[in-house]
Structure 1
Amino acid sequence: MRLIHGLPLIVALAGCSQTPVTPAGGARTIVPTVPTVTSQVEVFNHLPKDFDRSAWLFAQLETVPAIRSAKVAPARLELNDGQMSGYTGCNGVFGSYQRENTRIQFTGAGISRRFCTELADQEKRMLDVLSRTRFGMIAKANGYLLLLDENKAILAELLPMPPKDN
């Protein structure tokens, strides 16, 4: 008896769904059933003066949170006047970068050769992000460094590391 009471609701909901539209040319256009969302992040139009001597912790790589645990040192990126170094959580990373205003490109990235099964995906994402980065911008809301691709889509978010005591 419960199924019969639920049947009118199912029929009513089925009437609300949208079906694909097929134009005369035969191409199929799918009409979304929910609105799409575009996020925007306010950024500064310049990088700070000390950017070329800064250090950052990866918070997120390609929408995946960076691995944090007591057993693993966090993934990080250090910039020093055109030289880049860092740590994937397993291996050291090194290379160089060129920067003009907010345009930035990492080149010649090398990596040490330890194999860490649990960090292999993160390491691959980090190297991919570095190779695809074309812009670096600072988010106004939290001071994070955003690494962006050519279309200014966010590839990674990094938290500023406190300066080292000398």
Structure 2
Amino acid sequence: MKRLTITALLLSSLFGCASQSDSATEAKTLDLQGNWHIEYIGDMPVIDYSPAKVMFQEEGKLSGNTSCNQFFGSYQQQGESLTISPAGTTMKACVDALMEQEQRTMQALSKVTQARMNKGRLEFLDQASGVVMILTKMD
């Protein structure tokens, strides 16, 4: 009986520790602040030397370059949950390839629901956990 009680106590303390570390992991928030170069939109790499980037600022402010134009907006982050709300862009014309890439960038940003780090890269994910964009830190 004594052995059963000790075993039960050990198991409960192990499970208690596991759930505490899981909670701590879930609560951990990615540090997004700074400049991030867009490397991939969906499964397509961005055009070489493209200025496409996202800049996360304090107080939920967001800006960047969609390949041709500047954009601005806001973001909300809680753990790995991320919502990006582009509010506006400049309206200059560029070569067709950059304009197409710009459209893909804006569409991808509007689909983002999660962010995670994977092998040193920031991945933006959609509702189905599909990767919609891959970025690397510029700072």
The answer to whether structure 1 residue 106 and structure 2 residue 49 are counterparts is no
CA contact (8 A) 2:113 2:125 kept: yes
Distance 1:68 1:62 in 2: 16
TM-score of the aligned structures, taking structure 2 as reference length: 0.74
Specify which structure has the higher proportion of strand.
2
Q: 1:17-166 residue pairs with structure 2 within 5 A?
A: 46-48=28-30, 50-51=31-32, 53-69=33-49, 73-81=50-58, 82-116=60-94, 117-139=96-118, 141=119, 143-162=120-139
Distance 2:29 2:71 in 1: 23
Q: SS where residue 156 of structure 1 aligns?
A: strand
Deviation (angstroms), 1:118: 2.6
Q: SS where residue 74 of structure 1 aligns?
A: coil
- Deviations along 1:62-83, whole A, 9 cap, x unmatched? 11111123xxx52000001201
Gaps of 5+ in 2: 1-24
Moved segments of 4+, more than 2 Å: 44-48
Distance 1:144 1:65 in 2: 14
Specify which structure has the higher proportion of helix.
2
Q: SS where residue 51 of structure 2 aligns?
A: coil
CA contact (8 A) 1:84 1:97 kept: yes
TM-score of the aligned structures, taking structure 1 as reference length: 0.63
CA contact (8 A) 2:122 2:135 kept: yes
Q: Which gives a bigger RCO, structure 1 or 2 (Cα 8 Å, sep 6+)? A: 2
CA contact (8 A) 1:47 1:137 kept: no
RMSD of aligned alpha carbons:
1.6
Gaps of 5+ in 1: 1-43
> Counterpart amino acid of 2:45?
P
Distance 2:87 2:37 in 1: 18
